[in-house]
Structure 1
Amino acid sequence: MIHRKTRWTLAEWKDSEEGAAKLLSERLSLPPLVARLLVQRGYADEASARAFLHADESHLHDPYLLSGMEDAVRRIRAAAEHGEKIRIYGDYDADGVSSTSLLFHVFRGMGLHFDYYIPHRALEGYGLNKEAIALAAEEGVKLIVTVDTGISAYDEIEYAGTLGIDVVVTDHHEPPERLPNACAVVNPKQEHCGYPFKGLAGVGVAFKLATALLGRPPLELADIVSLGTIADLMPLLDENRILVRYGLERLRKDAGVGFRALAEASGIELDAIVSTNIAFGMAPRINAAGRLDHAKKAVALLTTNDYDEAILSAVQLDTLNKERQRIVDSIAKEAEEKWQSKLQAAEQAGTKPPSVIVLAGEGWNVGVIGIVASKLLERHYRPVIILGIDKETGMCKGSARSIDGYDLHAALTECEELLDHYGGHQAAAGMTLHRDQLEQLEQRMSSLAEEWLTAEDWIPKTKVDIACGLEDATLETISQLSLLEPFGVANPSPRLMFSGIQLADRKAIGKEAKHLKLALGSGRKLLDGIGFGMGSMVATLPPGCRIDCIGELSINEWNNQRKPQLQLHDMHYEPAALAEFPSREQFGQVYQLLRRMGQVQERGLTARISEQIGLTADAVQLMLDVFEELRFIRRSGGEYIAEASPEKRELATSERYRAAKERHDRSHALA
């Protein structure tokens, strides 16, 4: 038996949409699957579908539709006319670095008198600060242009005014109730701003400013726009989709020296670059500068015209990224040990463990704790807050990540009297507080989780686009799925479901047989399936059985041959009903055996327990699946690990237990 690791939620598909998909398929000469995906994603008529697939620079919006743009352009041009010194003030993440670099190129091309400033993450923190503004005044700056920051800097901008410095704010973050008294504020999310697209990254807003200043969209800088937009997880729709597509095309055909050096350091082939290469290859290296050193190293890479200098910068960023990975692994290990200690303490006390993971450590690098929080969220699927403690002051800086259904910002608002500062949204947030408040924060956040979340909310969810069949998995169809690119936030790579598909063959492949290769279908019409890290499932899948699976279609090229392939994300297989259903006592016997083992290789475990306890292999596998669902055990790296302090749960609360019991009882009733 192989059960789904997550809840599969299939996007709604109405019968009325079938006609629209058929029409699109005919009018736009698209495979039926591509047409159905377009309709399912909201592009049901020919005009909107064409715009989504083929929009170009003519579809970019007028930058002057942004409130404050005329004032911003007027002030910058006045500074240019009078030779005033301008300072670009950015942020230390990849979006802020991209925004700063873009305006650097534009201002250099315009011949302006300017420089740039990015605060140090650890020493100064996010946003404008008065010390940096005072330094700007000392150095003769008369105009600060913010990028990817500034919308909440009311007091700092007032202070700048007292020093004779004007400020133009360009930002994309949520505006507060009181906007800063700047000479111009450009942000599409302002309530009074009628700009038709609200999803621009900070670099996207900077690009619109550049377009207004130059009188044309500077598409030669779209590569920089694509970097910041993808890294900041902005929706790849509307203008973002257009700009990222132009940016990827530029990277493939005419990348600048900085990007060529970055690609070399990242091991990326530029002629075949896609959005995921930026997200997982380039962006982490750009972010590493601000996390561990100073973001100006990344700006230097993106603004230099010297390839030798670029290679040196790219190698430094790659080294920083490797160090970042080492630090993340170290903190994640410490955090996991702290969490296991909390679970053990709860078990010994006979109490329920916290529903929200709140962990803090002295010396934990606050530049990477968000990544650590994401790792623990993925491992335990519960909301996580990771904090670094300043040993001298006792103040903690934290980063939080959440699961569906638990709104971090709303939860922190409920706890705001415990916090010095906080901000964020449903899925991610940051906060500062004193270490004395940590225990109370954990209790309050956990109580809210228990109040707000249902039993189902604690099970990870996978969104599935469309159910399809083998007839959809053709080379032509898969090739034309690329029309939907670039993939990313709000436009993910299509995740497809195949139900009741016959398994022709299976085998474990790769080093230590870690991966699973399937032949799906029957006769001559077969689809290859590849499941990375799923090699242990091979013994559970008998040839000829029928499985449900979800994954992404791709083309596998090997020895000049091109074949359709399904990259498996998850699978479900149920064997026939058990002849004899295990008793509760037998469940307890097997669980105690697992507790004594503590940590044991997954391969061969079913057979070992079967022989030891005298149960069938199917019965033992059912028990393992039920224990995993109830979080009594977990799988990691090809091993089963017994949880130290699992929450007490009845067997009947397991969906897998109930389904198997019902199947058993039904088959015996019919007999």
Structure 2
Amino acid sequence: MLYSKTKWHSPAVDPVQSRELARSLSVSPLVASLLAARGMTAPEEALAFINAGTEEEYDPFLLKGMKEAVPRIKKALQEKEHILVYGDYDADGVSSTSLMIHLLRHLGASFDIYIPHRSVEGYGLHNHALDWALQQGVSLVITVDTGISACSQIAYANELGMDVIVTDHHEPPEVLPAAYALINPKLPGCPYPFKGLAGVGVAYKLAQALLDGEVPEEWSEIAAIGTIADLMPLLDENRVIVRRGLKSMRGSKYPGVRALLEVSAVSVKSVDAVNVAFALAPRINASGRLDHAGRAVSLLTTDDPVEAERLAGELDLLNKERQMVVERIVAEAVSRLEERLKDGKLPGIIVLAGEGWNVGVVGIVASKLLERYYRPVIILDIHPETGCCKGSARSIPGLDIYEALSSCSELMDHFGGHPAAAGMSLHLDNLEAFTAALEEFTSGVLTDEHLVPVTEADGEYSLADLTLQAAEELELLAPFGMSNPLPKFIVREAVVKETRTMGQGNRHLKLVLQQGGATVEAVAFGKGELAELLPPGTGVDVLAELSINEWNGSRKVQLMLKDLSVPQPQLFDFRGVRDAAARTQRLRNLLLPQTGGKQGLAAAVVRKDWLKEQDQPECQGMTFWVYDQYNGISPADNLPGDDGRSVSLLCLLDMPESTEQLDALLRTFPEAENIALLHSLRQERERLLVPTREHFKMLYKWLAAIASGPVPEQEALLRLSRKSPMSLRMLKMMLDVFEELDFIRREQGQLSFVTRPAARDLTSSSHFMRLSQLAEMEQYFMEGSPSELQEWMESRRLGAS
């Protein structure tokens, strides 16, 4: 039994509505059901979504503040005023700044740009930057993707005689800055119909207003990058902008965009929103995280292909460096957390701080730890000289992290954010109290149910539904991103037909799944370690995305596995493995449930002398049990755990020495969902055979020949072993049977043959019955197939219970 990493949830869809949509729109039942699942049940609404036509674009002058901003900018152009574009260092801020550069170049404006340094200056408008602008002769500042909360800074700009036009999309505060114009669709009283524009989307609407709607097509590429990178909902007008931008990008005129696609190994002709999100955006963001965002702005605005190639290469190297920095900090953070854990229990909220934890990537680190532990996470960088801690928080749906921070605001110098993410700064002296206050707040909010991650799927389907035609039709719903995710499908009761690994270090998993008459290949990146748990014949449930694999002119459907589970108990065959202890720990990490749902334990069962012979650092966090001659099985001395009922993973590092021990084992661990066989295999000459009458007839004949008079038993055994293919163990146990039946006598190490014994049936001997049972058990444990052994053990379990 293999647990899924998350709980899967899919909406209930009315089949009648789906059929009506399929008929009205002439689409496949699968696409129709997807539209219905996403709330588009009316044919005209679904058709508008599929078409995403220009009729969905709104008049930019519906944005509150636009009517004041446009004349002021035109006045600045006429009077040749010097304009400052003030941006931000993330991908949306870079895109917004780049778009404004293209716009102001197009208009022939005199301008400068300013983007603050993330780690040196931090987010937002700064007075020292306004002082610099004044020295440059700036009389008009246009902010992009920032400024809506900059009350004191804009008041300072006003004192310096500069007008400020704010274009932003963040949540406005209760008190708004006294800017010349504020353009933000979220402003109170703003009639703009769509509130989900990115910062670059607002800048794009400003360009439309200034150019009477005649915006160059290629500018939509810049708008698309920022919209996707800032995780804005790909619905409504954003859908129009991104579709147009991706179409333009597939034949991009921008050297920077083409160079960035090339260095990201993305085909220009087939670039999509997923490529932008996972290939382009991280490289653009890397500039602001580890260096200065100006390098990314230069890339998106250069006309020189040589410079573009150089800048794209630099961003790619910065992104690789960023990845290494993140990996290092994650490793350090995980190590610190696990050292701190008491009894393996995670706190309700994880707060970790360290020196040298680059403040530009702590948000990414927090996201990675949240994904690993599914808890709210705060990661802070400690300045070694000042003791100032700057950090980022990421949260789960059950906890509003902004509310949690507000509950201990007095301990911080600054904080801000929203329910899912936030940033903060505080002094090291307050860190302990800060952590305690957050843990107390969290304990009163989060329940066990909140700590089970949920993945939203689009429905349950059979493999036969997931056809090449269906995969091709999914493009009707693109582009995919926030609020319009790539569809995820649940397929239950598929069977693994083939299993293999691929990629460097066998990191990735490839399966061939079968269900009825349908067979589909499935790929799971980064899950190569699961291959040994999914032998052919394993029944699985999968959560997957649908894609098309093109190779050598052939096109076939392929599933991209996002999660999977094995709903049935399993028996894993690792008999004879060299390092059983290390394999046991790997199995524990893979097979025990990782989330706040069912909490299982792992147990290892060994012979008594194993614990003395072995060091078990690899088996930490497990209970140890030993085979016992009298009780069958018992907890190891001085080791935790004396109740096997909560054990879900049972690892047999040694096989039982008797059927009584096996039955005791099965009684002790009634909830064991997975059993792993890790015992060594006896040499052929040491194994027992299931005894037959012919074996005893043969032995009786040999004994008559060599033991007519008393003979040393060891000598007799040696002579018998030369004649017989049976092991010494087998021969000794057969002599026990003969002694019990009075066929031989043993006295002082001597063995003698009884010439005229009374007739006795073999089955009347308890030794014969024990030998038969032990040989049968050994045969299953040594030679039986996993399915045969599992079935036999299940029959023993029923008897043992």
Segment of structure 1 superposing worse, 232-241 or 2-11: 2-11
- CA–CA separation in structure 2 for the residues paired with 1:10 and 1:626: 32
2:288 to 277, 282, 290: 290
Tell me the C-alpha RMSD between the 2 structures: 3.1
Residues 187, 577 of structure 1: CA spacing in aligned structure 2 closer, same or farther, 3 A cutoff?
A: closer
Pick aligned residue for 1:488 from 447, 460, 481: 481
Paired residues, what number?
615
**For residues 621 and 613 of structure 1, what CA distance do their matches in structure 2 show?**
18
SS in structure 1 at match of 2:541: strand
Please list the CA deviations of residues 442-462 of structure 1 after superposition, one character each: whole Å capped at 9, or x if unmatched.
112122222211112222222
Q: 1:93 is matched with which residue: 90, 94, 109? A: 90
Matching residue's letter, 1:402: S
Q: 1:362: Cα distance to partner?
A: 2.1
Q: How far did 1:430 drift?
A: 0.3
Q: Which of 610, 616, 621 is matched with 1:596 structurally?
A: 616
Conserved? CA contact 1:286–1:317, under 8 Å? yes
Report what 1:335 is aligned to. 333
Structure 1 residue 357: Cα displacement:
1.4
Distance in 1, Cα, partners of 2:600 & 2:95: 61
Which position in structure 2 is the counterpart of 1:241?
239
Q: 2:36 aligns with which of 9, 34, 39?
A: 39
Mapped to 1, the partners of 2:27 and 2:600 lie a distance apart of 58
* Residues 368-379 of structure 1 aligned to structure 2 (within 5 Å): 368-379=361-372
Match of 1:632 in 2: none
Distance in 1 (alpha carbons) for counterparts of 2:289 and 2:506 = 37
1:318-354 CA-to-partner distances (Å, cap 9, x unmatched) read 22222222222222222222212222xx45xxx9653
The residue type paired with residue 549 of structure 2 is N
Paired residue type of 1:596: Q
Give 2:10's aligned residue: 10
Q: Measure the CA separation in 2 of the matches of 1:148 and 1:381.
A: 30
Q: Specify the SS of the correspondent of 1:254.
A: coil
Deviation (angstroms), 1:280: 1.4
Name the structure 1 match of 2:230: 232
The structural deviation recorded for 1:595 is: 10
Residue 126 of structure 1 is aligned with which of 123, 135, 145? Answer: 123
Distance across 1 between alignment mates of 2:514 and 2:55: 46
Change (3 A) 1:539 1:282: closer
Residue type of the alignment partner of 1:338: R
Change (3 A) 1:397 1:527: same
From 183, 206, 216, the counterpart of 1:209 = 206
Change (3 A) 1:476 1:81: same
SS at match of 2:218: helix
- Deviation (angstroms), 1:36: 0.6
The change in CA–CA distance for 1:43 and 1:353 in structure 2 (over 3 A counts) is: closer
Query: How far apart in 2 are the matches of 1:154 and 1:510?
Result: 53
Q: Determine whether 1:574 maps to 2:594.
A: no
Q: Structure 1 47/362 Cα, relative in aligned 2: closer, same or farther at 3 Å?
A: same
Distance in structure 2 (CA, Å) of the matches to 1:588 and 1:158: 67
Shift of 1:540: 4.0
Task: Give the alignment partner of residue 440 of structure 2, picking from 447, 463, 477.
Answer: 447
**Does the 8 Å contact 2:326/2:364 carry over to 1?**
yes
| Percent of pairs with identical residues | 48
**C-alpha displacement of 1:501:** 2.7
Deviations 1:607-649 (A, max 9, x none): 993242647999999758799xxxxxxxxxxxxxxxxxxxxxx
Once residues 311 and 466 of structure 1 are traced to their aligned partners in structure 2, the CA distance between those partners, rounded to angstroms, is: 44
* Partner secondary structure for residue 298 of structure 1: helix
Query: Are 1:609 and 2:651 an aligned pair?
Result: yes
Does structure 1 residue 556 correspond to structure 2 residue 549?
A: yes
Equivalent residue for 2:162?
Answer: 165
Amino acid of the residue matched to residue 51 of structure 1?
A: A
Cα deviations by residue, 1:347-405 (Å, 9 ceiling, x for unpaired): 5xxx9653211111223211111111112222222111111112222111110111221
Radius of gyration: which is bigger?
A: 2
Deviations 1:225-267 (A, max 9, x none): 0111111111111111111111111111234111011112222
Task: Determine the C-alpha separation between the residues in 1 that align with 2:207 and 2:188.
Answer: 23
1:518-565 CA-to-partner distances (Å, cap 9, x unmatched) read 333356532222233444444544645543211111112223222222
1:309 positional shift = 1.4
Give the partner amino acid of 2:554: Q
Q: Please state whether the residue corresponding to 1:253 is helix, strand or coil.
A: coil
The answer to whether the Cα contact below 8 Å between 1:265 and 1:314 also exists between their aligned partners in 2 is: yes
Question: Would you say the 8 A contact 1:610–1:620 is kept in 2?
Answer: no
Q: Cα–Cα, structure 1 residues 31 and 93, in superposed 2: closer, same or farther, change >3 Å? A: same
Counterpart contact for 2:377–2:395, Cα < 8 Å? yes
**Pair 513,112 (structure 1): closer, same or farther in 2 beyond 3 Å:** closer
Q: Show the counterpart of 1:638.
A: none
Q: Which moved more, 1:54-63 or 1:329-338?
A: 329-338
Aligned pair 1:313/2:311, yes or no?
yes
Where does the alignment leave 5 or more consecutive residues of structure 1 unmatched?
579-583, 601-605, 628-663
Contact 2:569 2:674 survives alignment (8 Å): no
Q: Does the 8 Å CA contact 1:208/1:217 hold for their aligned counterparts? A: no
Give the 5 Å matches for 1:92-491: 92-216=89-213, 218=215, 219-343=217-341, 346-347=342-343, 354-491=347-484
Query: Partner of 2:200: helix, strand, or coil?
Result: helix
Deviation at 1:505, TM superposition (A): 4.0
- Aligned-partner SS, 1:466: coil
Does structure 1 retain, via aligned residues, the 8 Å contact 2:486–2:545? yes
**Which residue matches 2:593?**
none
Gaps of 5+ in 2: 572-598, 621-647, 657-661, 677-793
Compute the displacement of 1:597 (Å).
3.9
Task: Provide Cα deviations, 1:269-309, integer angstroms capped at 9, x if missing partner.
Answer: 11111112111111111111111221111111111111111
Distance verdict in 2 for CA 1:622–1:460, change over 3 Å = farther
Shift of 1:33: 0.5
Native 8 Å contact 2:233 2:484 kept in 1:
yes
In the superposition, the TM-score normalised over structure 1's length comes to: 0.86
Q: Which moved more, 1:522-531 or 1:435-444?
A: 522-531
CA distance in 2: counterparts of 1:425 and 1:396, whole angstroms = 20
CA apart distance, 1:502? 3.8
Q: Per-residue deviation at 1:500?
A: 2.1
Q: 1:34 to 1:133 in 2, by over 3 A?
A: same
Query: What displacement does 1:490 show?
Result: 0.6
1:590 and 1:290, CA in 2 relative to 1: closer, same or farther beyond 3 A?
farther
- Is the Cα–Cα contact under 8 Å of residues 603 and 650 in structure 2 kept in the other structure? no
CA contact (8 A) 2:521 2:558 kept: yes
Q: 1:598: how far off?
A: 2.3
> Displacement of 1:203 after TM fit?
0.1
Instruction: Give the conservation status (yes or no) of the 8 Å contact 1:521–1:527.
Output: yes
- Give TM-score, length-normalised by structure 2: 0.72
Contact 2:218 2:252 in 1 (8 A): no
Q: Distance in 2 between matches of 1:65 and 1:50?
A: 25
C-alpha separation in 1, matches of 2:601 and 2:151: 66
Amino acid at match of 2:470: T
Q: Which moved more, 1:520-529 or 1:145-154?
A: 520-529
Displacement of 1:482: 1.3
Question: Within 2, Cα distance between the matches of 1:259 and 1:139?
Answer: 31
Distance 1:217 1:454, change over 3 A: farther
Distance in 1 of aligned mates of 2:338 and 2:673: 21
Paired amino acid for 1:54: N
* 1:32-84 deviation per Cα after TM superposition (whole angstroms, max 9, x unaligned): 00011011112111211111111223321110111010001011011111111
Q: How far apart in 2 are the matches of 1:189 and 1:533?
A: 40
Change in Cα spacing, 1:390 to 1:253, as seen in structure 2 (3 Å) is same
Query: Aligned partners of 2:155 and 2:106: how far apart in 1?
Result: 31
Contact 1:67 1:193 in 2 (8 A): yes
